[in-house]
């Protein structure tokens, strides 16, 4: 079960970070997302869930909030974008740059 404190922490990150990525350092899809977004901005806030003590609980809180269990879990301007495939679709539609630049 996710603590209220962790849920609030996650909600605060989503609300206060223009580009927020919940990632795992070894995940190839996370690497692809970070590279794609990194080509647009270096200001993305990335949290590596496998490298922090409460990473599993944060991932569970993200699942409760979004219904998405996998990483990367991407938010732009407080909006849940989804995972790597969703980021790549936005990129292929030439919408990702504008979406990111609008919130920075």
Q: What is the mean pLDDT of residues 55-76?
A: 98
Domain ranges of the chain: 4-103
* CATH code for the structural domain at 4-103: 3.40.30.10
82-98: per-residue pLDDT in tens?
Answer: 999 999 999 999 999 99
The phi and psi torsions of 52 (rounded to 5 degrees) equal -125, 150
Among 57, 60, 31, CA closest to 46: 31
**pTM of structure:** 0.97
Report the range of poorest mean pLDDT among 1-5, 48-52, 68-72, 78-82.
Answer: 1-5
| pLDDT for the residue numbered 1 | 83
Among 98, 96, 46, CA closest to 73: 46
């Amino acid at each position: 079960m996710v603590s209220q404190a962790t849920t609030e922490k996650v909600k605060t990150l989503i609300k206060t970070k223009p580009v927020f990525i919940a990632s795992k350092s070894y995940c190839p899809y996370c690497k692809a997302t970070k590279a794609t977004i990194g080509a647009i901005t270096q200001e993305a806030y990335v949290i590596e869930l496998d490298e922090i003590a409460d990473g599993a609980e944060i991932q569970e809180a993200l699942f409760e909030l979004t219904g998405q269990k996998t990483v990367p879990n991407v938010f732009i301007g407080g909006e849940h974008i989804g995972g790597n495939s969703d980021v790549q679709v936005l990129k292929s539609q030439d919408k990702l740059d504008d979406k990111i630049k609008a919130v920075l």
